[in-house]
Structure 1
């Protein structure tokens, strides 16, 4: 069994799919491990570090590999080098990318999307959305602190008092909770909102104040899978009014709202942005899906009347060493379930819940029910 670690061809992607520790674990599973030269440099891992862990560093790493692991979905130029029947495991971003799924099917690979891992107990250690969102939430606060023209904590000095920054977190999933914790550590006064009532207690346990219209609809606003439901227009209007008033008084707003497979919901209008004080900062974690903030630009810091809207994509990738380490653990934990411990050979159980949830393509076809080609 040969496992290959591919170097990311996207120059903007600094993460890598394996670290020396996960290479050692793959070797213990009985795998031969090969990695493309320079794959870990941007995450602070040298080729020599992989070699010391037992990997072979070679430009032909993916050739004849049984499993190819990546951070991002492979491009057509990469697929040409993979053998038919290989398992390709990455963050696939399948929604709205039908042509890319067809390319993987046509290449004859079995593609698995790590971000579709079901949220069940045995899969927690494989949950790439959580591992990467946790770091994105942390980094969002660091980016906000860098863009903000004042200190975060209250400082009482002989020269006068510096007031604490007011930080508002919109969307309290994994990223939002980490953003709350990080902003609190830096000394900010933190408030947060979410459409799911279950998170109110979590917000308050971290020392932040919860802000929401808490009516009957709010109390029912969570799917069985733990995601936020889309709210009615009436509720959205009430919540928007409350939020608009609150935002006027904030120094920093961090938005994290994403609904799988849908464009990001618009949480902050241009009018709300204009209502904020000059020097205020907005960080939009949903910029890759269209953004939560009107006026956000991918990869840029937009300045609207002195208010900065930060639209950096892939915030987890701005902490690449940590992000790669966690992602590598997610991948190893999943791959471990695909290997027969006694024979040390690949033994994919296509009826396993983890496999059924994540498998996109097999035997030349798109097999995931959510991404079946539309019939004419």
Structure 2
């Protein structure tokens, strides 16, 4: 089959959907691969690196005109118009964007959004959310360290002792756990909070202290278990108690990293303005939920602002700040997904009995497969 890898044109997007490593494997399976010129340049992958493994270098029309198109983000209207009916699109297409999915359906393509893959052991190798969140958690700490006007570790010098930074991580999913691990490597003192009691052991194993908010009702305990590895919205009574615990910890923290997200919904508010007002001057907040409204109402998407003496970082695409490794991991995720939709003869095969394929399928035959309620 002919596989196309276009250049990502969204502002700030530096990743690429395939690397020489994965393209070499695809070509080894008998496929022809066309990479749009300069598609990998921002990820330190020049055209010559792709040509060295047998890829063809072409323009946008050649990449989007392929049988299977590999993307990082959903195509815009101009890009979508370049795809032919019946073509297959694979990428992070935002399964909760009904309008975008409807446009893809109208174009007559078959689209797979890998964010919709089930959180199962079998799907781990193609879990794009985890691979990219892992990078975001790491980069969040590095960005915070850059903005923080003091050292992260404790230092004992001839001029005196510098205390270690106190870091509070809100949300202990993949990004939060990586943030804890990275902050620990930098010598910080860390506390972390999450609605799910099951992550307490993971938090403590990484060297952080768990901020425990006890459950008072069966409803609170049931919501905390989550669904498919994701957190669920918690009852107002628990959120109030958690807000008070976070308020007290944040006042003492030097750096707060918030990572709480609920797929398809606005991010929960965890860090209120009243709390920010009481934080120490020079403190830093990195809000990984900025793209979904933010865990702090003062966060401004894609900007660094100072409010009440606190620096708030609202970068919405932290993984794109580490484009080489982010692309490498993402490309491997795509390669593993393609194994499920390409048969042993090298042809596209849609197996709806496969739970991963069925979950990721967004549209086919001119119809959206799943429409999300708003």
TM-score, with length taken from structure 1: 0.96
Aligned residue pairs, count: 370
Post-superposition offset of 1:216 = 4.2
Post-superposition offset of 1:223 = 2.2
Rounded to whole Å, the distance in 2 between the matches of 1:63 and 1:317 is 22
Per the alignment, residue 107 of structure 1 pairs with: 107
Post-superposition offset of 1:270 = 0.6
Residue pair 2:5, 2:64 contacting (<8 A) in 1 also: no
Per the alignment, residue 334 of structure 2 pairs with: 331
Residue pair 2:110, 2:364 contacting (<8 A) in 1 also: yes
Residue pair 1:62, 1:81 contacting (<8 A) in 2 also: no
Post-superposition offset of 1:311 = 0.6
SS at match of 1:34: strand
Per the alignment, residue 146 of structure 1 pairs with: 146
SS at match of 1:293: coil
Post-superposition offset of 1:272 = 0.4
SS at match of 1:345: coil
Per-residue CA deviation, residues 250-292 of structure 1 (Å, 9 max, x unaligned), is 0000000000010000111110000101000000000000000
Per the alignment, residue 260 of structure 2 pairs with: 257
Per-residue CA deviation, residues 168-211 of structure 1 (Å, 9 max, x unaligned), is 00000000000000000000000000000000000000010000
Residue pair 1:62, 1:82 contacting (<8 A) in 2 also: no
Post-superposition offset of 1:310 = 0.6
Rounded to whole Å, the distance in 2 between the matches of 1:127 and 1:167 is 28
Per the alignment, residue 361 of structure 1 pairs with: 363
Per the alignment, residue 67 of structure 1 pairs with: 68
Per the alignment, residue 274 of structure 1 pairs with: 277
Per the alignment, residue 343 of structure 2 pairs with: 340
Aligned-pair Cα RMSD in Å: 1.3
Tell which deviates more after alignment, 316-325 or 221-230.
221-230
Per the alignment, residue 57 of structure 2 pairs with: 57
* 2:352 counterpart (342, 350, 353): 350
* 1:319 counterpart (296, 319, 322): 322
Rounded to whole Å, the distance in 1 between the matches of 2:363 and 2:76 is 15
Listed as ranges, the gaps of 5+ residues in structure 2 are none
In structure 2, the CA distance between the partners of 1:268 and 1:63, relative to structure 1 (3 Å rule), is closer
Residue pair 1:84, 1:109 contacting (<8 A) in 2 also: yes
Per the alignment, residue 201 of structure 2 pairs with: 201
Post-superposition offset of 1:15 = 0.4
Per-residue CA deviation, residues 235-255 of structure 1 (Å, 9 max, x unaligned), is 111111111111110000000
* 1:230 counterpart (218, 230, 233): 233
Post-superposition offset of 1:54 = 1.1
SS at match of 2:252: coil
Rounded to whole Å, the distance in 2 between the matches of 1:298 and 1:160 is 39
Per the alignment, residue 215 of structure 2 pairs with: 215
